Amino acid sequence: MKIYLPNSAFIGNIDPFLKKLDFTNKEHLEISANKSWIAVHPVVLSMVAALGLQTKPENVKCEKLTAKSAHYLQRMGLYKFLGIQSDVNIEEHEPAGRFIPLSQIKNSTELSHFIKEMIPLLHLQPNQVDPIRYVVSELVRNVIEHAASQSGAIVSAQYYKKSNRIAIGIVDTGLGIKKTINQSHTASTHLEAIRLALIPGITGTTKKEGGTEYNAGAGLFFIKTIAKVNHDFFMIYSGNAMYKLLKSGTTKLFADPFKDKHSISDNLPKWTGTVVGIDISLSETREFSKLLDAIRETYSSAVKERKQARFKKPKFI
């Protein structure tokens, strides 16, 4: 496998980074990077760490990183995940900033503990806490419950002072969305599976409306909605497909993610598992309670529409 860390890879411009990924020769991992600068979204680091966990440390080859910002990778704990020694020279001491280093979460207890520890690290105001812990809890629980990933979920996050936003990356190397959703639905492509997974009330665990006693199929819809109403980016990549919610002027919610302003790719290198990246702006965070009103309305209409679609139609002869 080969990964090239570019000078810039955030959700808005992540496509070239993904296209360059090379997943051949799964026993070995080669990491190279831009010589002068590396600035990447936490989702990129979570991906590298997830691949690193699948590779024996002696098979990980990381070229000497000369970029001035390379110490960031060390600060986020990437070398520890890869099981290799860092050869990055830290010339000057940088303040720690507000970030959550790469963390591996394998079960429900670890998740509850992680959420408790995470909030103080980000120094959030009380009104900013709700969407962040909501996003992390729902996404990581998805991994724990559905992904069957031996290495669990790899999570990292970074606060960016200039744009006053928090970027979060949550990655697994499990079954992927298509296999999960196809346990109860029919998605012929990875992209269609992603679309179904984002529609409220559709879960891989059952065809039944309302879900099972344990799953409703609402988690990803909630996350996409948090991003949409705050005009933030959100991406989900699984198999060869990626759905990216683009920033738009409207906050109108749609049950079908393809009706939102978005971009899609369905010819990317095949990621075994699921990658989710989200940005949450802290200055524009719409009141969480108003967001819940909008979700209630959209969710309810989506269920009604699906129910109506199954009604038997009268025969007029």
Partner 1 sequence: MTTINIFQKVGPFAENKDEARKIRINEIVPKLEKGEDVILNFKNIEAATQSFIHALISDLIRKYGDDLLDKISFQSCNENVKKIIMIVTDYMQESD
Segment interacting with partner 1 (CB under 8 A) among 29-37, 249-257, 258-266, 301-309: 301-309
The number of residues that bind partner 1 (CB under 8 A) is 36
Q: Does 289 bind partner 1 (CB under 8 A)?
A: yes
Q: Does 114 bind partner 1 (CB under 8 A)?
A: no
Q: Does 138 bind partner 1 (CB under 8 A)?
A: yes
Q: Does 130 bind partner 1 (CB under 8 A)?
A: yes
Smaller CB separation from partner 1, 135 or 245: 135
Instruction: Give bridge partners of residue 262 from the DSSP assignment.
Output: 245
Residue 62 DSSP label: E
Smaller CB separation from partner 1, 208 or 261: 208
Q: For residues 108 and 105, what is the distance between their CA atoms, to the nearest angstrom?
A: 8
Q: Does 219 bind partner 1 (CB under 8 A)?
A: yes
Q: Compute φ and ψ for 143, nearest 5 degrees.
A: -65, -50
Segment interacting with partner 1 (CB under 8 A) among 4-12, 72-80, 250-258, 302-310: 302-310
Q: Does 4 bind partner 1 (CB under 8 A)?
A: no
Of residues 54-73, those binding partner 1 (CB under 8 A): none
Query: Would you say 212 and 233 are in contact if contact means Cβ atoms under 8 Å apart?
Result: no
Number of Cβ within a 10 Å radius of residue 5 = 23
Q: Which of 26, 64, 252, 304 binds partner 1 (CB under 8 A)?
A: 304
Q: Does 26 bind partner 1 (CB under 8 A)?
A: no
In this structure, is the dihedral angle defined by the CA atoms of residues 243, 244, 248 and 253, taken in order, positive or negative?
positive
Q: Does 134 bind partner 1 (CB under 8 A)?
A: yes
Q: Compute φ and ψ for 163, nearest 5 degrees.
A: -95, 0
Residue type (1 letter), 65: L
Q: Does 201 bind partner 1 (CB under 8 A)?
A: yes
Give the E-state strand segments of the chain in sequence order: 2-5, 29-33, 60-62, 99-105, 153-160, 165-172, 234-239, 241-245, 262-265, 271-281
Smaller CB separation from partner 1, 7 or 215: 215
Q: For residues 275 and 272, what is the distance between their CA atoms, to the nearest angstrom?
A: 9
Q: Which of 59, 74, 215, 251 binds partner 1 (CB under 8 A)?
A: 215
Smaller CB separation from partner 1, 155 or 241: 155
Q: Which of 84, 115, 121, 246 binds partner 1 (CB under 8 A)?
A: 115
Burial per residue of 56-93, b for 16 or more beta-carbon CB atoms within 10 angstroms, e otherwise: eeeebebeebebebbbbbbbbbbbebbebebebeeeee
Residues at the interface with partner 1 (CB under 8 A): 108, 111-112, 115-116, 129-130, 133-134, 137-138, 141, 200-201, 208-211, 213-216, 218-219, 222, 288-289, 292-293, 295-296, 299-300, 303-304, 307
